[in-house]
């Protein structure tokens, strides 16, 4: 089975090398390994095939990798979802005083 370097996977998927390393650490490529720091990570072709990101028999497969989400945006939305009802309640009670 073919092995890919992190740079090769990044080029293949159009992602940054650090993104691929983060995916490796998170378990997205369960069979990835590294023999040494010098050699770096190797991603096994079967992991990429399971994600359907490389051609099989010359047929391009649809990628199921979802775009990365900006966590700061999610935190802001969660904060707004929690605080908005409280602010509305406070506003309504304060406006009823006058």
pLDDT tens track for 60-74: 544 544 555 667 877
| Averaged pLDDT score across all residues of the chain | 79
Sign of CA dihedral 74, 79, 80, 82: positive
User: Per-residue pLDDT averaged across 23-28, rounded?
Assistant: 92
pTM, entire model: 0.54
Classify burial at 92, counting beta carbons within 10 Å of its beta carbon; exposed 0-12, middle 13-18, buried 19 or more: exposed
Put residue 4 in one of left, alpha, beta given phi > 0 → left and psi -120 to 50 → alpha.
Answer: beta
């Amino acid at each position: 089975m073919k092995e890919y370097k992190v740079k090769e996977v990044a080029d293949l998927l159009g992602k940054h090398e650090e993104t691929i390393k983060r995916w490796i650490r998170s378990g997205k490529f369960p069979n990835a390994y590294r023999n040494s720091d010098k050699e770096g990570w190797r991603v096994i072709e079967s992991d990429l095939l399971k994600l359907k990101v490389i051609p099989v028999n010359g047929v391009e497969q649809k990628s199921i990798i979802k775009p990365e989400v900006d966590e700061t945006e999610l935190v802001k939305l969660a904060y707004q979802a929690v605080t908005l009802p409280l602010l509305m309640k406070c506003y309504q009670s304060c406006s009823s005083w006058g």
